[in-house]
Structure 1
C-alpha cells in the first residue's frame, strides 16, 4: 500500500498477461446468448480436432484451445452467427474488454453473382 492505494507488483501483471495471451475471446454485438446454448452451437460449428476450455464473464466468452490449428481456424473465422446474432472472435489482449464496447462496424465478405459487366468499375 502506498498512500492508501494498493500497488500491484509488475511481475504479477506480467505473469497474468503470459497466462491469458493464449486465450481467444468471443462476444456478441447484440444481446448475449446463454452459456449452454453458445457452448453447444460452437461445438457444432467449430468441429475442433482437440478440446477447448470455455469460461464466461458478464460480457465475454474466453476459450483456450489444446490444439493450435483449432485456435488458428477459429480466429480466421473472426465472426459467426448464432440464432441470428453476430458472435465476434478475436485474440485476447489487455484492452479487449474496452474494445468490445467500441465496436461499431465489422467487415464482412459478400459474394455477388451475375453482376453486369457495365457495373465492373469503382462506382459500380
Structure 2
C-alpha cells in the first residue's frame, strides 16, 4: 500500500491528526463479517485456533484468523451467514476452557469486554414440547439472568 501525504493540521503549535467517521467507516464492511474470540484463562496459539475451526466449524469456509497483542483473536469469515452459523452453534471449548465468541463491533475494547460477563451454555433436559414457547423459555431464562436460545431450540428441533 502506498501512503499519500496528507497536509498536517497544527493547533497551538501541536500536530493534530484528525480522523473522520468516513475515514474508518469504509473498513467496517470488511470487518462486520468477523467475530472476536478469546479463551478463558489462556491465550492459545493461532494453530490451536485453526484446529478448533477445522474440527468444530467444518460447515464454513476457512476463515482468516488474526491474533491481537491483547490476547484475543479476530476471526473474519467470507460472509455473514457463516459468522452467524458459528455464533449460534456453540458452545466451544479448548483444553476444557471456555471459548468466548462475540460479533466484532467497531467500538470493541478487549479490556472492557473480557470476563465482566461469562456466557454459559445451559441444558434444560426433559422440558415437554408444549413448553418450548418463547414465553415459557423466557420465564425459565429470566431465572438464570440475561439469556437467549440457540437455533435448534428456537426452531423446536
Q: Do these two structures clear the TM 0.5 threshold for a shared fold by scoring above it?
A: yes
- Check 1:37–1:12 CA distance in 2 against 1; reply closer, same or farther (3 A cut): same
- Check 1:66–1:105 CA distance in 2 against 1; reply closer, same or farther (3 A cut): closer
Give the counterpart of 1:57 among 65, 68, 71.
68
Q: Which runs of 5+ in 2 are unaligned?
A: 1-8, 127-139, 144-157
- Counterparts in 2 of 1:38-117, with a 5 A limit? 38-58=49-69, 59-98=71-110, 99-112=112-125
RMSD: 2.5
1:10 aligns with: 21
Deviations 1:24-54 (A, max 9, x none): 2211222111111121122101112423111
1:34 aligns with: 45
The answer to whether the 8 A contact 2:100-2:119 is kept is no
Provide the rounded CA distance (Å) in 1 between the counterparts of 2:19 and 2:50.
34
Q: How many residues align?
A: 115
The answer to whether the 8 A contact 2:53-2:62 is kept is no
Q: Choose between structure 1 and 2 for higher RCO, CA contacts under 8 A separated by at least 6 residues.
A: 1
Provide the rounded CA distance (Å) in 2 between the counterparts of 1:17 and 1:37.
27
Consecutive aligned runs of 4 or more in structure 1 exceeding 4 Å deviation: none
The answer to whether the 8 A contact 1:26-1:87 is kept is yes
Provide the rounded CA distance (Å) in 1 between the counterparts of 2:43 and 2:108.
17
Deviations 1:26-83 (A, max 9, x none): 1122211111112112210111242311111122211222254432210103541111
